[in-house]
Amino acid sequence: MTTLKVNGHDHQIDADPDTPLLYVLRDDIKLNAAKFGCGLGQCGACTVIVDGKAVLSCVTPLLLLEGKQVTTLEGLGTVDAPAPIQRAFMEEQAAQCGYCIAGMMMRAQALLQRNSRPTDEQIRAELEPHLCRCGTHMRILRAVHRAAKLMDTAELSTTTQGSAQ
Amino acid sequence: MPQSFDIALVKRGRDLAALGNCNDCHTIRGGKSFAGGLPVPTPFGTIYSSNITPDADTGIGRWSEAAFRRAMRSGVNRDGQHLYPTFPYDHFTNVTDEDDQALYAYLMTRPAVHAPAPANRLSFPLDQRFVVAGWKLLFFRRGTYQPDSTQSAEWNRGAYLVEGLAHCGSCHTPRNALGAERASAQFAGGDVDNWDAYAINSRSPSPVPWDTAALFSYLRQGWHPDHGVARGPMAEVVSNLSSVDESDVHAIAVYMTSVFGPPTPDRIRRGEEVLAKAKSPAVPSSEAGAAGASIYAAACATCHETARPLPYGGVNLGLSTALSGPDPRNAANIILSGIRPVEGERSPIMPGFANSMTDDQVSALLNYLRSRFSNQPAWTGVEKTVEDARRTQTVFLQTSPGPDNAPADPMQRDKP
């Protein structure tokens, strides 16, 4: 049994230490936002936040996570109370098929947590590891800028953004 | 005063500039080509590369061809000041007047970019350029390449390029306390941007000995199945070499084969062993359970132990020079930062693990990889190396322009 801290809660996980975090999240904890894309750390669909940094969960085994805090998209906000990053992606209609979007949002969230006003160039460089075949790239860019603005003005509201810190 | 140049001369200059890897130091990531400004860390301080576009005020727009040739030949700028030897005129002195003329024609026909170079950060007395005169007196030998009549024309072409414009020794030859290449240890391995530029002579740490065919294919396409994928500063070199005349790359391979020298029977046997092992199915490690072994099994083996061929699959780590090299820097760099994909091209890619592994975990992994995949003694100072790698790679990756075309397989370009 391993204790894994996800979205602020401790989970007792019965899995081999070399099990990828992605499988634990999806199969054991039933958090399905992070997606299986390539399984090789090459597409970004499985991205989650660990201790404030974007991490590819498909190539991150459980044994690397001792004492660390994992945040998934579910930990940022809900359908009823979406976090700024989620609201921004919806308002910009940044998803087409949506498969890559959870990963995109997580890396964008990690970026915005350390740089509240990134430039276009910084966003492009940051999201480089993410593949999107639909081609909503320009909307994704706009959504990240919008999220930055929303976060500025959302300081007073009570989103669950804090759990990703 | 715009000058006109023969188009064939400009084209030849383009290829020569690629052979000389000029864009690598004279361009900064996200910056304009040849506009300079790249910080080059040296043991003596930071030197910024200069703007070599034809901008009159901040570049070489006012330079005559004679002034350009003098800089290449003698390391003196247009105003007569000594240039710091980070500009490798100790090699460029070997370049012929005809080649300098072509390089000049190429550079003077690039778009002019107004970009003043930041001031160098050197401490006294090294911030005084006359000090370089003393350095030159001690270490600089002006002269053109003298062909060796006992060798083939191709060998001589390779030697001319390697010792001159391609300046391979700038990274691959160790330097003395005053920053000069140690003539007695030519190609015995040096440093660049916190990467180990491996020995490329008889002391090469490569598990499989290099031969002409392997060198040619590695330098031309950026990878070889028995050696892996070029990365770090070498990725930029092979990116340039993939765009020049094939015969020049072959000449370099021919000359370098003679520099490596024939491998000893021991090295040949070792090479055959690791190749055989790499082809047979993986044997589970006896040390399974150790932290490093588990990290390898979970995070690395999915790519490095599948049959997926290079360059898109991971090299079998038994073939990895990084793990048989004298220090763990290159392996640490690559684990932390991975291999960045080339924009708009097919290219090798590896995710970096800087965000998911602590220094302790990377160290445990490195120690395990060393003991499992090389026949060399354990590295020392692994923790410190990982700490340094985490710090310096951040800087390197932000400033280095990176390869601008795919070293993976130029033949595959434009194919779906």
pLDDT at A164: 47
Closest residue in chain B to residue A19, using alpha carbons only: B298
Count how many residues are written for chain B. Answer: 416
Q: What is the DSSP string of B199-237?
A: --STT---SSPP-HHHHHHHHHHSEETTTEE--THHHHH
Mutate to test the interface with B, among A2, A23, A57, A60 (most CBs of B within 10 A): A60
Q: How far apart are CA B217 and CA B139, in angstroms?
A: 34
Chain B residues within 8 A of A54 when measuring between CB atoms: 355
* Cβ atoms within 10 Å, residue B39: 16
SS3 sequence, B354-410? CCCCCHHHHHHHHHHHHHHHCCCCCCCCHHHHHHHHHHHHHHHHHHCCCCCCCCCCH
Q: Does A52 touch chain B (CB under 8 A)?
A: no
Q: Which amino acid is at B249?
A: V
Which residues lie across from B210 on neighbouring strands?
none
pLDDT band at B287 (very low <50, low <70, confident <90, very high): low
Tokens 């990828």 sit on residue: A20
Asked if pLDDT for residue B210 goes beyond 50, the answer is yes
Q: What is the DSSP string of chain A?
A: -EEEEETTEEEEE-S-TTSBHHHIIIIIS---SS--S-SSSSS-TTEEEETTEEEEGGG-BGGG-TT-EEE-GGGT--SSS--HHHHHHHHTT--SS-TTHHHHHHHHHHHHHH-SS--HHHHHHHTTT---SS--HHHHHHHHHHHHHHHHHGGGS--GGGGG-
Cβ density class A50-81: b for 16+ within 10 Å, e for less: beeebbbbbbbbbbbbeebbbbbbbbbbeeee
Contact between A26 and A32 (Cβ < 8 Å):
yes
Asked if pLDDT for residue B266 goes beyond 70, the answer is yes
Q: Do B355 and A18 touch (CB under 8 A)?
A: no
Of B338, B341, B355, which is closest to A53 when you measure between CB atoms? B355
Asked if pLDDT for residue B361 goes beyond 90, the answer is yes
Using CA atoms of A86, A92, A95, A96 in order, give the dihedral in degrees to the nearest 10. Answer: 160
Q: Do A42 and B30 touch (CB under 8 A)?
A: no
pLDDT band at B250 (very low <50, low <70, confident <90, very high): very high
Closest residue in chain A to residue B354, using alpha carbons only: A55
Q: Does A50 touch chain B (CB under 8 A)?
A: yes
Q: Which residues contact B148 (CB under 8 A, 6 or more apart)?
A: B155, B156, B159
pLDDT at B66: 97
CA-CA-CA-CA torsion sign (B361, B362, B368, B372) = positive
Q: Do A18 and B341 touch (CB under 8 A)?
A: no
If you ran DSSP here, which 8-state letter would residue B247 be given?
A: H
pLDDT at B342: 80
Pick the range with the lowest mean pLDDT from A139-153, B62-76, B122-136: B122-136
pLDDT at B340: 83
pLDDT band at B149 (very low <50, low <70, confident <90, very high): very high
Q: B97-108 vs B7-19: helix axis angle to the nearest 10?
A: 100
* Cβ atoms within 10 Å, residue B144: 13
Chain B residues within 8 A of A59 when measuring between CB atoms: 298-299, 302, 351, 353, 356
Asked if pLDDT for residue B415 goes beyond 50, the answer is no
What's the ipTM? 0.87
Which residues lie across from B367 on neighbouring strands?
none
Asked if pLDDT for residue B414 goes beyond 50, the answer is no
Share the mean pLDDT of chain B. Answer: 91
* Cβ atoms within 10 Å, residue B158: 26
Q: What is the DSSP string of B128-149?
A: STTHHHHHHHHH---------T
pLDDT band at B261 (very low <50, low <70, confident <90, very high): very high
Residue B309 has which token pair?
């061929």
Q: Which amino acid is at B228?
A: G
Q: How far apart are CA B200 and CA B65, in angstroms?
A: 35
Q: Which amino acid is at A139?
A: R
3-state helix, strand, coil in chain B (%, to 5): 45, 5, 50
pLDDT at B30: 82
Q: Do B294 and A17 touch (CB under 8 A)?
A: yes
Q: Which is more confident, B341 or B222?
A: B222
Asked if pLDDT for residue B393 goes beyond 80, the answer is no
Q: How far apart are CA B370 and CA B362, in angstroms?
A: 12
Asked if pLDDT for residue B166 goes beyond 80, the answer is yes
pLDDT at B416: 42
* Cβ atoms within 10 Å, residue B66: 11
Region label for A39, one of left (φ > 0), alpha (ψ between -120 and 50) or beta (otherwise) = left
Pick the range with the lowest mean pLDDT from B29-38, B77-86, B398-407: B398-407
The pLDDT tens digits of the residues spanning B21-50 come to 999 999 998 899 999 999 988 888 999 999
Asked if pLDDT for residue B126 goes beyond 90, the answer is no
Q: Which amino acid is at A19?
A: T
pLDDT band at B288 (very low <50, low <70, confident <90, very high): low
Tell me the HSE value of B45 on the side-chain side, using a 13 A CA sphere.
14
Q: Do B340 and A53 touch (CB under 8 A)?
A: no
CA-CA-CA-CA torsion sign (B110, B115, B119, B121) = negative
Q: Which residues contact B79 (CB under 8 A, 6 or more apart)?
A: none
Long-range contacts formed by B334-338: CB under 8 A, 24+ apart: B334/B231, B334/B232, B335/B362, B335/B365, B335/B366, B336/B362, B336/B386, B336/B389, B336/B390, B336/B393, B337/B393, B337/B397, B338/A41
The pLDDT tens digits of the residues spanning A100-146 come to 999 999 999 999 999 999 999 999 999 999 999 999 999 999 999 99
pLDDT at B285: 54
The tens-digit pLDDT sequence of chain A (165 residues) is: 899 999 999 999 999 998 999 999 999 999 999 999 999 999 999 999 999 999 999 999 999 999 999 999 999 999 999 999 999 999 999 999 999 999 999 999 999 999 999 999 999 999 999 999 999 999 999 999 999 999 988 655 554 444 444
Mutate to test the interface with A, among B356, B394, B400 (most CBs of A within 10 A): B356
Asked if pLDDT for residue B410 goes beyond 60, the answer is no
The pLDDT tens digits of the residues spanning B99-116 come to 999 999 999 999 999 999
Q: Provide the percentage of residues in chain B whose pLDDT is more than 90.
A: 76
Asked if pLDDT for residue B214 goes beyond 90, the answer is yes
Q: How far apart are CA B79 and CA A65, in angstroms?
A: 59
